[in-house]
Amino acid sequence: AKEEVEKLTEAKTQFIMATQHHLRTPLTSIIGYLDLLFGGTYGKVPPKIKETLLKFQVSTKRLIRVVNALLDISQFQMGKRVVALEPNIDFESLIKEVMEELSFEVKMRGLYLKYEKIGQVPAIKADSEKLKVALFNIIDNAIKYTKQGGIIVNLKQAGKLVQLSVKDTGIGVDPKQANKLFKEAFARGDEAKKVYGFGSGIGVYVTGHIIRAHNGRIWAESEGKGKGSTFFIELPIG
């Protein structure tokens, strides 16, 4: 029975990997052609068309992330090592890169996205690409579930840890449901389902795995419905 389960699990992983390849290849090509358009290869792009293309680019990149997340989930569930830690990673630089990537969406929604840092923050030991995925998921999540106001990203040192907080003025999270978000695939709060019906909960679940693989901690706090949320990430200095 154990061998059968292992065979089925391996078959599922192979299927997901093949699906990821077949989906990601054309999506990557689309991004490549969009980059050529933005770079002026085919001439100057009129402002109105450029804005539409930017929306197209954002949506395509989002789909690529979903495809990648599905593979990550499969590998995490099989116990495979997905994160490769390296020393002296500048956490602040990763945060700023992600915020820049999300700036267009923030502007389109009429929100604010602010960054605050308290004092000097030491380097950390991290997988920079995977940590950027986690950061993107958390900040993007805050943007999706905030209709008015905005998001404040705060970074500080807390003893032997680096602490990131992402505070939004959004829909809030039921405190009873908050911890499930990082531990159960496809888990979402009740209010989240009402506001953003097409969400999957995949991003937050993958983020939980990534942070734990960094020997870190992640959690959410909220006073309840309509009172916003704050997501925290703590990582060891190194």
| 108 and 219, same domain (yes or no) | yes
Tell me how far apart the alpha carbons of residues 65 and 59 are, in angstroms, rounded to a whole number. 10
| 105 and 36, same domain (yes or no) | no
| 107 and 192, same domain (yes or no) | yes
Q: Which of 77, 106, 124 is the last residue of a domain?
A: 77
Q: Is this prediction's pTM over 0.85?
A: no
| 16 and 69, same domain (yes or no) | yes
Please give the angle made by the CA atoms of 29, 208 and 236, to the nearest 5 degrees: 110
CA-nearest of 143, 66, 64 to 98 is 143
Q: Count structural domains, the chain.
A: 2
Which residue ranges of the chain lie beneath pLDDT 50? 188, 192, 195-199
| 208 and 104, same domain (yes or no) | yes
What is the torsional sign of CA 86, 88, 92, 93? negative
Domain CATH for 211: 3.30.565.10
| 95 and 43, same domain (yes or no) | no
Q: Which of 77, 96, 128 is the last residue of a domain?
A: 77
- 230-236 vs 217-221, strand pairing mode: antiparallel
- Enclosing domain of residue 22: 2-77
Beta pairing partners, 151: 113, 168
| 137 and 120, same domain (yes or no) | yes
| 158 and 195, same domain (yes or no) | yes
pLDDT at position 186, please? Answer: 53
pLDDT at position 22, please? Answer: 78
Please give the angle made by the CA atoms of 210, 119 and 152, to the nearest 5 degrees: 55
| 165 and 226, same domain (yes or no) | yes
Which residues 6+ apart lie within 8 Å of 236 measured at CB?
Answer: 124, 125, 160, 161, 162, 214, 215, 216
The three-state DSSP-derived secondary structure of the chain is CHHHHHHHHHHHHHHHHHHHHHHHHHHHHHHHHHHHHHCCCCCCCCHHHHHHHHHHHHHHHHHHHHHHHHHHHHHHHCCCCCCCCEEEECHHHHHHHHHHHCHHHHHHHCCEEEEEEECCCCCEEECHHHHHHHHHHHHHHHHHCCCCCEEEEEEEEECCEEEEEEEECCCCCCHHHHHHHHCCCCCCCHHHHHHCCCCCCHHHHHHHHHHHHCCCEEEEECCCCCCCCEEEEEEEEC
pLDDT at position 212, please? Answer: 93
pLDDT at position 233, please? Answer: 97
Q: Which of 47, 77, 107 is the last residue of a domain?
A: 77
| 95 and 73, same domain (yes or no) | no
